[in-house]
Structure 1
Amino acid sequence: MRSIRHQLLVALLSAISLTTLLGALATYRTAREEANAMFDYHLRQLALSLRNQVFQNGPRRDFRIEEDAQDFSVQIWSPDGTRIYLSHPRQELPPQTPIGFATIDSGHGRWRVFGMQQGGQTIQVAQPMLLRDQLALAAALRTVAPFLIMLPILGVLIWVVVGRGLRPLDAVARAVSTRTPVALEPLPQVHVPSEVLPLLLALNDLLARLKRALDAQREFIADAAHELRTPLAALTLQVQLAERAGDAAARTEAFAEVKGGLQRATHSVQQLLTLARQEPGGGDRPLAPVALSELVAGVIAAHLPLAEARRIDLGAMPTTGETVVEGEEEALRILISNLVSNAVRYTPHGGKVDVTVGAGADGPFIDVCDTGPGIPVEERERVFDRFYRRAQNDEAGSGLGLAIVRRIAERHRASVVLDEAPLGGLRARVQFQRSAGLPGVALTPL
């Protein structure tokens, strides 16, 4: 695992070193330019200092001076072109050059030369460019040396500062490590830097969703255990009664009760499994555009035998508008099937159930209307609770149908509303939202 502290330290030191080197280069260039200007001035002044000296025609005079101590080389020519003075006899100096400043390559190095005439004599003062570059480099190094010496101290300071800056991350890590499945409180947001706050908010959102998922799981397990205890106990009793039956007729009746109990238990287990798949953490499922009208037609066709057995007029009203939503087709099929099944089972014989698919200003919707007894206003919210069954209800069931409907609707960001139907019974409306891409909505992530 790579350390953020180490990465920051290396990056900062590298940036500072690069900046220092660039500064040294700029200092070197500036120092060289300044040195050139200064040495040019010295050349001119040295030449001017010799202009009042009188040099007669005659043999060349070489003044014995310590050449290592001299930075300038001086040559003087008479009017006839004879060199009458040379300060460095053993050096390969540049030849006589035009008057003024010039940079000459003598074949043994580059020279900066200043020439002038005085009394018919030509005075030339020269200096090696290598010497100038060395002096400029020495000046630049003297300037950069303090920064290079300070780099280790700067590294220690950066290490300390970065460590203090990363303390909030350490605090967040310690806070996350203390969370358990039974203690998923949000992480504290006091004195949190702005850079860490988005991470903290994302973690708190994750903890909140995880808490809801675990709470729903615990609640589901408790409800399922409670709900299955009664039918399993009834099955055990019915099996015992079948074993004690005295004749074939009693045994047949007892086994019929066992068969009915098994069917009810199987239906309860299937509903529980369906509800479990719709809970948070039930698994990721692919999304796709779903045509609600086609889905409704398939569900109605599957429920026609039940409706005919109860002499109920089950049909679909004409579709209005664009009714395509984005979601999970199988989940939406279960939603429509539970609504239609409830309407058919709770509508008296000879009644009517109409299913309408349309699109309004708020988006696509599905209406399931029946001629049944309806649900009182005070109970319309409670019927969405798990295992809730009305006291006046004689139909067999697990009380999970509408709970499954609401959960699927919530996952598709839809709402379920129960109210009075134009037919006189109950109307269950599933209202979808309208999105930018499709008339439907994206599935809520689990």
Structure 2
Amino acid sequence: MTPSIRRQLIVALLATIAVAVLAAAYGSYRLARAEVDSVFDYHLKQIALSLRDHAPQSAAQLPAVDDQLDFVIQVFTRDGSRLYASHQHASLPGPAQPGFSTVDTDDGRWRIYAIQLADQIVQVAQPTRLRKEAAAAAALRTVIPFLALLPVLGALIWWTVGIGLAQLDRIAREVKSRSATELEPLNLDGVPVEAQPLIVALNDLLKRHRVSLDAQRAFIADAAHEMRTPLTALQLQATLIERAGNDADRIIAVADLKRGLIRASHVVQQLLTLAREEPDGDASQAMTRIDLVGLARMAVADHQVLAESRGIDLGLEKSVASAPANGDAAALRTLIANLVENAIRYTPGPGRVDIGVAIEDGQPLLTVTDSGPGIPEDERERVFNRFYRRAESAEPGSGLGLAIVKVIADRHDAKVELGDSLLGGLQVSVRFPPI
């Protein structure tokens, strides 16, 4: 069952009040008991002292005592013989020490005051049970009004808590009334201080969702625009195959169609990779400790055939023995592959592409250097945009390679930098945070 904030608050407050009332009752009882003890001790002493002036010589000279009196008066001789007892209490002891004392008997505890009068000892006793009852009655009279008010307090708390929670109900109605595309932040005016962190967090979530939704819309629009050209080309090439008048023209048209299919497949693969590596995509692999040197060696092996086919000398330049970093191995392999493919594709043969791994200031550094034409400084920021391709480039491509690199680097808190290489072309550096 889902817990109710209102019910929890009411139960907690009423329980706290009840505990406070019980504690007050106990405190009242202790104070009342001390006061009752003081008053009754005074009465015991006054009764005993009242007999001093009479100086009774025998039990007959003692005043008559009402049987309903709570006090028991006893008179003893010096040798301990009892001359008189106002009530018959066989359990009461003989003469006690002068002054106040408390004794335990078969009838319970008794408070006794004893005094020596001439040749006699007079003691007045009272059961402590009467004192406890009097103190409990006084404490109960103090607590009963509070206990009677508990239902009223419960109703007042219910009403007060309801007023406080009305703001949350208003916010809930406001959120419920919005459409799926209405992502404006909620108004904080009139929101209680306690609820403001929730609204701030919700507004932050709405903001991030709006940014993600805008990015998805832009991505879908860009992808549709980018796919329009290769699909149109494929349709045209299929039409040329149908209209081919001889086998030679048909073979050429089929070859063009295959190249178009390869390019379209590459674009789709790049789009899927980019969508997967987006912050809100499907990339959910846990970060583990990996070695960038090992990934660099794998990239050289994976692209060696492509590099040789284009006359490119691809290799791993002298680097550290190991460069550990925290990351997603599959994603970082994709990052290095995109950098190497771009370098091979845009470097004229014969040319050179080097992969380097180093440690600088405690940070792992991956570099891909080529001897190609490079990228002008005024375009280096734009090349990370999706589907951006330089106008001077004659190489077919989707314009997503470096965009994918940037997304993966951001996910790993790495920084991507473009600069001039010592080989005369471009150097891409990816600086990872230290472990």
What range describes the TM-score normalised by the shorter chain of this pair?
A: over 0.9
* Aligned partners of 1:9 and 1:158 also within 8 Å: yes
- How many angstroms does 1:93 deviate by? 6.2
Cα gap change, 1:326 to 1:178, in 2 (>3 Å): farther
Q: Residues of 2 paired with 1:352 and 1:95: CA distance?
A: 117
C-alpha RMSD over aligned residues: 2.3
Q: Residues of 1 paired with 2:81 and 2:276: CA distance?
A: 110
- How many angstroms does 1:117 deviate by? 1.5
Q: Could you say which residue in structure 2 is the equivalent of 1:443?
A: none
Q: Deviations over 1:273-329 (max 9, x none)?
A: 111111132221122112111101111111111111121111121114852111111
- How many angstroms does 1:166 deviate by? 3.3
Task: Point out the more displaced range, 255-264 or 75-84.
Answer: 75-84
- The alignment status of 1:373 with 2:373, answered yes or no, reads yes
Task: Point out the more displaced range, 100-109 or 330-339.
Answer: 100-109
Task: Point out the more displaced range, 398-407 or 411-420.
Answer: 411-420
Amino acid aligned to 2:428: A
- The alignment status of 1:5 with 2:3, answered yes or no, reads no
Cα gap change, 1:94 to 1:62, in 2 (>3 Å): farther
- How many residues in Structure 1 have an aligned counterpart in Structure 2? 432
Q: Residues of 1 paired with 2:415 and 2:103: CA distance?
A: 91
TM-score (norm 1): 0.90
* Aligned partners of 1:59 and 1:84 also within 8 Å: no
Q: Residues of 1 paired with 2:367 and 2:214: CA distance?
A: 32
SS in structure 1 opposite 2:359? strand
Q: Residues of 1 paired with 2:321 and 2:209: CA distance?
A: 39
* Aligned partners of 2:75 and 2:123 also within 8 Å: yes
Q: Could you say which residue in structure 2 is the equivalent of 1:308?
A: 308
* Aligned partners of 2:80 and 2:95 also within 8 Å: no
Cα gap change, 1:151 to 1:286, in 2 (>3 Å): same
Q: Residues of 1 paired with 2:58 and 2:429: CA distance?
A: 124
Which runs of 5 or more structure 1 residues have no equivalent in the other structure? 439-446
Amino acid aligned to 1:2: P
- The alignment status of 1:245 with 2:244, answered yes or no, reads yes
Q: Residues of 2 paired with 1:267 and 1:73: CA distance?
A: 112
- How many angstroms does 1:348 deviate by? 0.9
Q: Deviations over 1:332-376 (max 9, x none)?
A: 111111111111111111111112111212722211111111112
Cα gap change, 1:347 to 1:72, in 2 (>3 Å): same
Amino acid aligned to 1:324: P
- The alignment status of 1:21 with 2:44, answered yes or no, reads no
Q: Deviations over 1:108-151 (max 9, x none)?
A: 23221111111212222111111111101111111212221222
Q: Residues of 1 paired with 2:207 and 2:200: CA distance?
A: 10
Q: Could you say which residue in structure 2 is the equivalent of 1:399?
A: 399
Q: Could you say which residue in structure 1 is the equivalent of 2:201?
A: 202
Q: Percentage identity across aligned positions?
A: 51
Q: Residues of 2 paired with 1:180 and 1:325: CA distance?
A: 43
- The alignment status of 1:43 with 2:44, answered yes or no, reads yes
Q: Could you say which residue in structure 2 is the equivalent of 1:63?
A: 64
Q: Deviations over 1:29-68 (max 9, x none)?
A: 2221221121111100111111112434476978363x33
After superposition, where does 1:106-121 map in structure 2 within 5 Å? 106-121=105-120
* Aligned partners of 1:355 and 1:366 also within 8 Å: yes
- How many angstroms does 1:88 deviate by? 3.0
- The alignment status of 1:97 with 2:95, answered yes or no, reads yes
After superposition, where does 1:139-178 map in structure 2 within 5 Å? 139-178=138-177
Q: Residues of 2 paired with 1:406 and 1:369: CA distance?
A: 17
SS in structure 1 opposite 2:151? helix
After superposition, where does 1:80-95 map in structure 2 within 5 Å? 83-89=82-88, 92=90, 94-95=92-93
Q: Residues of 2 paired with 1:8 and 1:345: CA distance?
A: 68
Q: Could you say which residue in structure 2 is the equivalent of 1:236?
A: 235
Q: Could you say which residue in structure 1 is the equivalent of 2:272?
A: 273
SS in structure 1 opposite 2:399? coil
